Structure 1
Amino acid sequence: MGTTANGTSAATDKATSTSNGNATVDKGVDFANYFCTYAFLYHQKEMLSDRVRMDAYYNSVFNNKHHFIGKTVLDVGTGSGILAIWCAQTGAKKVYAVEATKMAEHARQLVKSNNLHDVVEVIEGSIEDITLPEKVDVIISEWMGYFLLRESMFDSVICARDRWLKPTGVMYPSHARMWLAPIRSGLADQKMSDYEGCMDDWHGFVNETNTYYGVDMSVLTKPFSEEQKKYYLQNSVWNNLHPNQVVGTCAILKEIDCLTVTVEDIFKIEASISLTITKEDTRLCGFGGWFDVHFNGRKENPAECEVELTTAPSVDDGTHWGQQVFLLHPPVRVNEKDEVLVNFSMSRSEENHRLMNVDLGFQIKLSSGKMLAPVRNKFYIE
């Protein structure tokens, strides 16, 4: 849930149409479904109140002044404008702060009230449509969505990089990783109970409709059940997990170099990983996914102070991103040293390129060597 993205990039449109047969994204629909949310100050406040997020960006900028002093910077999806302001405060010569929504007006006011309007230029428009007078030394953006890639804002950052970053330029952040781990959670039981309660209510509705109005609705029971299964059991859940809920080792699903990655590289994420259970006699209730990003500069121009922003399970409040949880129904009993072999695939929804579909298959190899039957689940990140 990063700061405001900029309309769908040409690269996104092309990838959408060639990879899954969809027509190019309608920018008007995209704005109504996505961008408008970020035009409200309450939403900006939520992100600005995330201390983990704010500290990481603040420290990465002010502890790496050599990347900013006397340099030209592009802030993609500036939102309130705070990243652009920090870049100017640390010594940037010029900052172009691009914002697709009317939040640009607030950003412009904030920049002026902090006496930085001679350095920071707020531009209202999508990064795909605007034109800058020069190439930039640094691109900074808070583009990360739930489980890193939901919202597909990174497409716009890639577009900005390819159009406006100098060959020697630096990306902030420079790298990103996606993680997955086995978890235990009472949410699995709660969601199943919610689904069963919903079906009990449906059956009562069918009986009453037949009794009082003489219409048998039972033919709709199966599609209603499938609809509710998706809502209660297949939609991934946003959650702030405690480290104690992680019952095994974690593994990297995807590593991204922001300087070289293409839209095609992130259009579909596929990985086969092995996770080892580290708790005795526990329940595998699902899998928790999170991400981290790093501010390392580039090989030829490294950061003097490398900074990590992680959304891993935390004993504190964590971040507004939390973790993406994929629940199993029913949970599986596991033990220490059991191995969970996971095949993971995440692709963009055909209905909305900013949402994700996940295929998650796994097979448990017991510490005795016995293999349990493979399980396959489909989830939706909406």
Structure 2
Amino acid sequence: MAELATINVHENEVVDKVQVVQSRVEDVELPEKVDIIVSEWMGFYLLHESMLDSVIFARDKFLKPEGFMYPYKCILYSAPSYSPELFKFWENISGIQMNTIGQLYRTKYTGKPEIMELDPKNILSEPVEVYQFNTKDVQLKELNNISKNVLSECIKNGHVNGISLWFDVFFHASNKPDILLSTAPVSSNTQLTHWKQTVIVLPAEKPVVKTEKVNYNLNISKNESNPRHYNIELSFLDSDESNTMDTKTAVDEKKEEFRKHHNADSDYDEYNSGSDD
């Protein structure tokens, strides 16, 4: 990429204005502070791969006090969702029961979050803000562990088989409203981002009705052995409401841990390839 950027600089005859540095940002030395830092650091569910760590390093070392970060405001959202493609295929195939195979398939899915395209009509509640931060002042220690009790109320009848995550980021615009980049579920006639949505797949599907409560704790923490990875833990919460989702039918022993087992870089390459397979 640095080589292509250098070629582009020469093609546009701005060699006297633009300098391309091919290096890890942690190894770069600059003669002076900078006015703006622009970085596309966002991963799946916003934090995947922890590339923001390097951006924070660059901010603390290079950015002027009055400088700007692009993007600057970041919000992670969550909502219960339904993904028919996860389980329906294995329920009954031309009259042949496939329950055992279907259960094995469910077990496979619950080992790691799935990156997939969700239909907006299958989002079963209004999105709830899980975490918000500003890249101008967020500190590394704040990103080590993020925990949120999410209290959702279903807006329609349906089935829950996953908890979905997506994010919005905002960019300053001079004398105009902020520019929004959203990775929320979109209709088929709207352009989808490569981030799609992240779905924490549940071991069992649960029917819900309008106004029913789906309450859970979402914990996102850095992996101790590999700080570039995050572990995601989902726990359903008890509630005094009689129509609250039964936690023991939703997850095994009330608590199920979902971890990214695969190499972060290989996962990113797979989903960034544009393949929907």
Report TM bin, short chain. Answer: 0.7 to 0.9
Alignment of 1:194-209 (within 5 A): 196-197=100-101
Q: Structure 1 244/151 Cα, relative in aligned 2: closer, same or farther at 3 Å?
A: same
**1:341 — aligned with what?**
215
Cα distance, 1:174 vs structure 2: 0.9
Distance 2:156 2:166 in 1: 20
Distance 1:327 1:173 in 2: 30
SS in 2 for 1:293: strand
**2:272 — aligned with what?**
none
Cα distance, 1:196 vs structure 2: 4.6
Distance 1:331 1:324 in 2: 17
**Deviations for 1:77-134, whole angstroms, at most 9, x for unmatched residues?**
xxxxxxxxxxxxxxxxxxxxxxxxxx21111111211222221110011111110011
- Does residue 72 of structure 2 align to residue 174 of structure 1? yes
Distance 1:199 1:284 in 2: 16
Q: Structure 1 350/370 Cα, relative in aligned 2: closer, same or farther at 3 Å?
A: closer
How many residues align structurally? 248
SS in 1 for 2:184: coil
SS in 2 for 1:108: helix
**1:248 — aligned with what?**
125
The structure 2 residue matched to 1:232, chosen from 104, 109, 114, is 109
**1:257 — aligned with what?**
134
- Does residue 190 of structure 2 align to residue 311 of structure 1? no
Q: Structure 1 111/195 Cα, relative in aligned 2: closer, same or farther at 3 Å?
A: farther
Alignment of 1:182-193 (within 5 A): 182-189=80-87
SS in 2 for 1:128: helix
Q: Structure 1 147/255 Cα, relative in aligned 2: closer, same or farther at 3 Å?
A: same
Q: Structure 1 152/308 Cα, relative in aligned 2: closer, same or farther at 3 Å?
A: same
**1:111 — aligned with what?**
9
Percent of aligned positions with the same letter in both sequences?
A: 32
- Does residue 196 of structure 2 align to residue 322 of structure 1? yes
Distance 1:161 1:363 in 2: 38
**1:289 — aligned with what?**
165
Distance 1:295 1:356 in 2: 26
Tell me if structure 2 keeps the 8 A contact 1:239–1:323: yes
**Deviations for 1:261-292, whole angstroms, at most 9, x for unmatched residues?**
01111111111121110112x11111110011
Alignment of 1:1-382 (within 5 A): 103-189=1-87, 196-197=100-101, 229=107, 231-280=108-157, 282-296=158-172, 304-315=176-187, 316-363=190-237, 368-369=242-243, 372-373=246-247, 375-381=254-260, 382=262
**Deviations for 1:140-174, whole angstroms, at most 9, x for unmatched residues?**
11110111100111001100000011111111111
Cα distance, 1:199 vs structure 2: 9.0
Larger relative CO (CA 8 A, sep 6+): 1 or 2? 2
Distance 1:154 1:190 in 2: 37
Counterpart code for 1:290 = W
Structure whose alpha-carbon radius of gyration is higher: 1
Q: Structure 1 268/305 Cα, relative in aligned 2: closer, same or farther at 3 Å?
A: same
TM-score of the superposed pair, with normalisation by structure 2 = 0.81
Q: Tell me, which stretches of 5 or more residues in structure 1 are unaligned?
A: 1-102, 201-224
Distance 1:191 1:348 in 2: 34
TM-align CA RMSD: 2.7
SS in 2 for 1:120: coil
Distance 1:117 1:306 in 2: 31
Tell me if structure 1 keeps the 8 A contact 2:90–2:102: no
TM-score of the superposed pair, with normalisation by structure 1 = 0.60
Distance 2:163 2:137 in 1: 29
Q: Tell me, which stretches of 5 or more residues in structure 2 are unaligned?
A: 92-97, 249-253, 263-277
Distance 1:325 1:356 in 2: 15
Distance 1:371 1:146 in 2: 27
Q: Structure 1 370/143 Cα, relative in aligned 2: closer, same or farther at 3 Å?
A: closer
Distance 1:339 1:154 in 2: 34
Q: Structure 1 364/283 Cα, relative in aligned 2: closer, same or farther at 3 Å?
A: farther
Distance 1:198 1:234 in 2: 15
SS in 1 for 2:176: strand
SS in 2 for 1:145: coil
Structure with the largest fraction of helix: 1
- Greater shift, 104-113 or 142-151, is seen at 104-113
Counterpart code for 2:179 = V
Distance 2:49 2:216 in 1: 25
Tell me if structure 2 keeps the 8 A contact 1:285–1:330: yes
Cα distance, 1:349 vs structure 2: 2.5
SS in 2 for 1:358: strand
Counterpart code for 2:41 = W
